[in-house]
């Protein structure tokens, strides 16, 4: 009886460990590969910026994107906010880009809207505020 109780305890511990591991894999998969995650939307918006001819003309060929700076100086946090309007989910993102042209930086603003029929987000707008004098805004996509 004593040995059976110990075996049952080990079985429960293994089951809890498998459950926690499965939960972690689910969260990681959802964040990295889901079409509705902020990192996926950021990646798609950055690719649209990299392929837009006017953006390439202003910033140069090698365009890199980054988020807000952390206390350690790392720039990896993409600022985003989710909200619900008229029963649909919306998400706004803000990140920064710079290219091979020295001194040229820009702030990218993205808004996506949930499409209930397709079950994923669709881009409403992407525009880039170029931080030069005079200020200028480049509209990449406007599907409002």
18 and 1 inside one domain: yes
29 and 41 inside one domain: no
Tokens of 89: 């989910």
Tokens of 123: 């881009």
Query: Rounded CA gap, 142 and 40, in Å?
Result: 19
Q: Is the pLDDT of residue 39 over 90?
A: no
Average pLDDT on 13-19 reads: 97
- pLDDT on residue 144: 66
32 versus 96: the higher-pLDDT residue is 96
Question: Could you tell me the residue range of the domain that residue 11 belongs to?
Answer: 1-34
Q: Is the pLDDT of residue 6 over 80?
A: yes
Q: At what angle do helices 2-33 and 38-51 cross, to 10 degrees?
A: 30
Backbone φ, ψ for residue 96 (5° rounding): -120, 150
CB-based burial label for 43 (10 Å; 0-12, 13-18, 19+): middle
Report the range of poorest mean pLDDT among 44-53, 103-112, 131-140: 131-140
Taking a C-beta distance cutoff of 8 angstroms, is the pair 49, 65 a contact? yes
Q: Is the pLDDT of residue 98 over 80?
A: yes
- pLDDT on residue 100: 87
22 and 69 inside one domain: no
Number of domains in the chain: 2
Query: Rounded CA gap, 98 and 131, in Å?
Result: 10
125 and 86 inside one domain: yes
- Quickly state the pLDDT bin for 55 (edges 50, 70, 90): very high
Average per-residue pLDDT for the chain: 87
47 and 101 inside one domain: yes
Buried b (16+ CB within 10 A) or exposed e, 47-63: ebbbebeebbebbeeeb
């Amino acid at each position: 009886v004593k040995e059976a109780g110990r075996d049952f305890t080990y079985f429960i511990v293994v089951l809890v460990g498998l459950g926690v591991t499965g939960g972690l894999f689910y969260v990681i998969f959802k964040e990295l590969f889901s079409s509705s995650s902020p990192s996926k939307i950021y990646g798609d918006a950055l690719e649209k910026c990299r392929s837009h001819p006017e953006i390439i003309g202003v910033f140069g060929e090698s365009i890199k994107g980054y988020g807000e700076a952390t206390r350690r100086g790392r720039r990896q946090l993409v600022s985003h906010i989710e909200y619900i309007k008229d029963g649909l989910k919306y998400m706004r993102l803000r990140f920064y880009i710079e290219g091979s042209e020295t001194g040229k930086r820009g702030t990218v603003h993205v808004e996506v809207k949930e499409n209930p029929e397709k079950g994923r987000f669709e881009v409403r707008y992407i525009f880039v505020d170029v931080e030069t004098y005079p200020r200028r805004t480049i509209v990449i996509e406007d599907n409002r």
